[in-house]
Amino acid sequence: MLEMRDIRKAYATPQGPLPVLDGVDLSLAAGASLALMGESGSGKSTLLHLAAGLDTADSGEITLDGQRLSTASEPARAALRRTRLGLVFQQFHLVPSLSVADNLTLQARLAGRETPDWSQELLTRLGLAEMADRYPEQLSGGQQQRLAIGRALAGRPALLLADEPTGNLDEASAETVLTLLLELVRDSGCALLMVTHSARVASRLERRLTLSHGRLLAEEAR
Ligand SMILES: Nc1ncnc2c1ncn2[C@@H]1O[C@H](COP(=O)(O)OP(=O)(O)OP(=O)(O)O)[C@@H](O)[C@H]1O
């Protein structure tokens, strides 16, 4: 479903190129879940952004759902993102002027992928059905992140990319949000690539990989 082959990426800085990824290979099967770990600055977000087609690698090949992302144009990458990917970040990035229900469905609707039954099920399972007419500022942090997860899954993506999705939440909300996210991912059959600092969070996923000095370390067995 997601294949990354010999990915290299350096950022241009005033001091010269800063190499971040130096030959990364990663494969994620349909429906599988993988935690991406590594020290701060090791390139986790960079890798996730490349998988999302939000940025391009200097070299290497990325294939998503059989389509080559690495050579696709920006509009083609955006179309693939809209239809095949769900994204969740540490910041929730909700639209303040839209209700909870509209935030949940907007992206799926724009991509022509909204199914009202699934949207309603998501609202209920995320504990947001009673709050459908509220606005994001009227929700707690945990509720806002649940909404952001619902939005990412409303279009039934093949792959959910999540960057520290519980990083902004207290321990109790983080646990609730993570459990819900994993249940919904499992039930919807989508694959999950999640960046996390937390070994405890990572242990809840099927696979774990660690980035270090631009490379992925050998995989730990579960
Ligand atoms: N746009 C950019 N321009 C220059 N350097 C960048 C840019 N984005 C990231 N970097 C640098 O690349 C390295 C990897 O950053 P990245 O955000 O991918 O790491 P990370 O592992 O996700 O870190 P964290 O866990 O702290 O979020 C860091 O040294 C960072 O400073």
**Residues 67, 77: contact at Cβ < 8 Å?**
no
Task: Say what the pLDDT of residue 129 is.
Answer: 94
Q: How far apart are the CA of 222 and the centre of ligand 1, in A?
A: 28
**Residues 36, 47: contact at Cβ < 8 Å?**
yes
Q: How far apart are the CA of 11 and the centre of ligand 1, in A?
A: 9
**What does the alpha-carbon distance between residue 62 and residue 70 come to, in Å, rounded to a whole number?**
5
Which residues, judged by CB distance below 6 Å to any ligand atom, belong to the binding site of ligand 1?
11, 13, 18, 20, 38, 40-46
**What does the alpha-carbon distance between residue 165 and residue 167 come to, in Å, rounded to a whole number?**
6
Task: Say what the pLDDT of residue 111 is.
Answer: 87
Strands (E), the chain: 2-13, 16-28, 33-38, 59-64, 67-68, 85-88, 159-163, 191-195, 207-212, 215-216
What tokens appear for 79 in the block?
A: 């179309």
Q: How far apart are the CA of 135 and the centre of ligand 1, in A?
A: 32
121 CB-near residues (< 8 Å, 6+ apart): none
Task: Say what the pLDDT of residue 196 is.
Answer: 94
- What ipTM goes with this model? 0.96
Residue from 20, 37, 89, 194 to probe ligand 1 pocket by mutation (most atoms less than 8 Å from CB): 20
**Residue 199 burial (CB < 10 Å; 0-12/13-18/19+)?**
exposed
Residue from 13, 18, 90 to probe ligand 1 pocket by mutation (most atoms less than 8 Å from CB): 18
User: What's the predicted TM-score (pTM) here?
Assistant: 0.92
Q: How far apart are the CA of 36 and the centre of ligand 1, in A?
A: 14
| Domains located in the chain, CATH noted | 2-216 (3.40.50.300)
Task: Say what the pLDDT of residue 92 is.
Answer: 87
Q: How far apart are the CA of 43 and the centre of ligand 1, in A?
A: 6
Tens digit of each residue's pLDDT, the chain (222 residues): 999 999 999 999 999 999 999 999 999 999 999 999 999 999 999 999 999 999 999 999 999 988 898 888 889 888 888 889 999 998 889 999 999 999 999 989 988 999 999 999 999 999 999 999 999 999 999 999 999 999 999 999 999 999 998 888 888 888 888 999 999 999 999 999 999 999 999 999 999 999 999 999 977 655
Task: Say what the pLDDT of residue 221 is.
Answer: 57
